[in-house]
Amino acid sequence: MGLFDFVKEAGEKLFGGGDSATADMAAAEEAARKNEKAVTDFIRSLRLDVDDLRVQMNGNVAVIGGTVASQEMREKVILAVGNIGGIAQVDDRLKVAAPKPEAAPEVEAVFYTVQGGDSLSKIAKVHYGNAMKYMVIFEANKPALSDPDKIYPGQVLRIPPLAE
């Protein structure tokens, strides 16, 4: 759990126009409710399984709660929400239903922000030492990625550890 930073201007465009900071309080609250529903619907559209999903928008911070089955699913939900345009931070309050036992702790993936000129193979070369491992990164970021050639600067990707 924690607070994760994202590039506010990058990502899926779910929210309508307007600046809630300059709107009156009632309009800002209504916009937040609409954005919360949009984020909830987006998570469900990606078929990311979260029991008792709760989304609260505090300006450009998305607070996400609920229970997920695994650390991998937790990371995918955080990235899906963080890669929505207009969200600068995700406050992760997700719980993992069955975390790995202490004897074999689950290794968390690395989050990587895509830079201009990056490709999945270039990222795989840096993180794994082998550009041909790009499909590991692609698979780890499904369903948020639909094509290995369609990544953009500012997007945050999940780089899982390689299986032994």
Q: What CATH number should be reported for the domain holding residue 73?
A: 1.10.287
Given a contact cutoff of 8 angstroms between Cβ atoms, the answer to whether 84 and 46 are in contact is no
Q: Is the pTM of this model over 0.75?
A: yes
> What is the number of structural domains in the chain?
2
> Do 6 and 85 share a domain, yes or no?
yes
Instruction: Evaluate whether residue 104 is within a structural domain.
Output: no
> Do 24 and 80 share a domain, yes or no?
yes
CATH number at residue 148: 3.10.350.10
> Do 6 and 64 share a domain, yes or no?
yes
Q: State the SS3 of the chain.
A: CEEEECCCCCCECCCCCCCCCCCCHHHHHHHHHHHHHHHHHHHHHCCCCCEEEEEEEECCEEEEEEEECCHHHHHHHHHHHHCECCCCEEEEEEEECCCCCCCCCCCCCEEEECCCCCCHHHHHHHHHCCHHHHHHHHHHCCCCCCCCCCCCCCCEEEECCCCC
Per-residue pLDDT tens over the stretch 88-147: 999 999 999 987 665 445 567 899 999 999 999 999 999 999 999 999 999 999 988 999
> Do 148 and 74 share a domain, yes or no?
no
Q: Tell me the residue length of the chain.
A: 164
User: Which residues span the domain enclosing 12?
Assistant: 2-96
Instruction: Evaluate whether residue 60 is within a structural domain.
Output: yes
Instruction: Evaluate whether residue 9 is within a structural domain.
Output: yes
Per-residue pLDDT tens over the stretch 20-29: 444 577 888 8
> Do 44 and 89 share a domain, yes or no?
yes
